[in-house]
Amino acid sequence: MTASSREDKLKSGIEEAKSALQIEADAVLKLKEDLDGSFKKAMELIIDSEGRVVFTGVGKTGLVAKKLAATFSSTGTSAFFVHAGEGLHGDLGMIRAGDVVIAVSNSGETDEVLSLLPSLRRIGVTLIALTGDSTSTLAEHADLILLADVITEACPHNLAPTASTTAALALGDALAIALSSYYGFTPEDFALYHPGGSLGRKLLTKVKDVIKIREQNPTVKIETTVREALFKMTNSRMGSTSIVDQEGKLKGIITDGDIRRLLEKSANFIDHPVKNYMTSDPVSISPDRLAAEALQIMESKEINDLPVVEAGRPVAMLNFQDLLRAKVF
């Protein structure tokens, strides 16, 4: 193959890629335009069901069904996947009366899926057909049809499942999100089901978890000298210290940066009361707040230390580096 021939083929491939993306985008947009009462009915069937949602399918649409089961589960709707082929050899025992089974098949004529129908009826499930053909055998035997039909596949030969699987996936995702909205699923709920991910750390890690990293709470009384406050910072290896009144209530904060700026003018202040130079009523956070909130405060205020306060009294000093170590990002 010559260099020019190779380049021509690459250009042709790129044009085919653009065409494929357009076809798949059009297929998804068509779903939006065609969304009807059957979608609402599907929501109602799942909401009113006392069972779980079970996805089934084989081949490419089976992979779509498996992904949708994962999406439903992670967004608040209990779901799992049963491979239609394995279902014919015992895995139907995972399904019970009252479940809602969503069978995914573009043609609606997949042998393995159709072979499940008699047993599914005997078990006593509600059957939803997620299909591209409303006149298919699967659609005929379903309680409800979710139609994901496409004009053509993105494959230039109109053979490989491409636009049809994208449409089925998009319609299933839309159903998952609609149900999630109905249930009032929150980011905190999402984090509960994803404790190992970055979002999980953001939404499950609290300030009280992070302050255990260093367990420092530098505090001085309001009449303490700046010199003593500096010693307190040095001993605690923190860049600031909380300043409290006689009852232990937070009144202010002073940082090593404050002291350096004062030194640029004069050193006469070093034995004066720290109350003369502190930042009064500093921003603070409670130990039960999310560490991500502390991070947002520190970034917006451009500060490295944040007093952790409970009932008006400082119980710890949170440092920006501690949040880095806790990976709250």
Architecture of domain 204-326: Roll (3.10)
- The whole-number pLDDT of residue 190 equals 66
What secondary structure letter does DSSP report for 252? E
Nearest Cα to Cα of residue 46 among 132, 128, 121, 141: 128
3-state secondary structure of 251: strand
**Angle formed by the axes of helices 163-183 and 37-48, nearest 10°:** 50
Does residue 43 register a pLDDT over 60?
yes
φ and ψ of 250, to 5 deg? -70, 125
pLDDT in tens, 135-166: 999 999 999 999 999 999 998 888 888 999 99
pLDDT tens-digit profile of 184-236? 877 666 666 655 555 555 556 888 988 887 788 999 999 999 999 999 998 88
* Ramachandran angles phi, psi of 240, nearest 5°: -165, 170
Domain with CATH 3.40.50.10490 in the chain: 3-185
Lowest-pLDDT choice from 16-25, 59-68, 121-130, 267-276: 267-276
Question: What percent of the chain stands above pLDDT 90?
Answer: 65
pLDDT of the residue at 276: 92
pLDDT for res 327? 73
Mean pLDDT of the chain: 90
Beta 144-147 vs 219-221: how paired, if at all? unpaired
Mean pLDDT of 45-56: 95
Rounded Cα distance, 317 and 209, in Å: 13
Q: What is the mean pLDDT of residues 306-311?
A: 94
Element (H, E) at 199: helix 198-204
Average pLDDT of the residues in 241-261: 92
pLDDT given at position 70: 93
Residue 81 token pair: 């996947």
Give the model's pLDDT for residue 196: 57
Residue 1 or 238, more confident: 238
**At residue 284, does pLDDT exceed 90?**
yes
Q: Which residues are annotated as a binding site for Zn(2+)?
A: 83
Q: What is the CATH number of domain 3-185?
A: 3.40.50.10490
Query: What CA–CA distance (Å, rounded) separates 44 from 303?
Result: 50
- Whole-angstrom distance, CA of residue 57 vs CA of residue 170: 16
Q: What's the pLDDT band for 3 if we cut at 50, 70, 90? A: confident
Residues comprising the binding site? 83
Q: How many Cα atoms are found within 13 Å in the side-chain-facing hemisphere of 206? A: 8
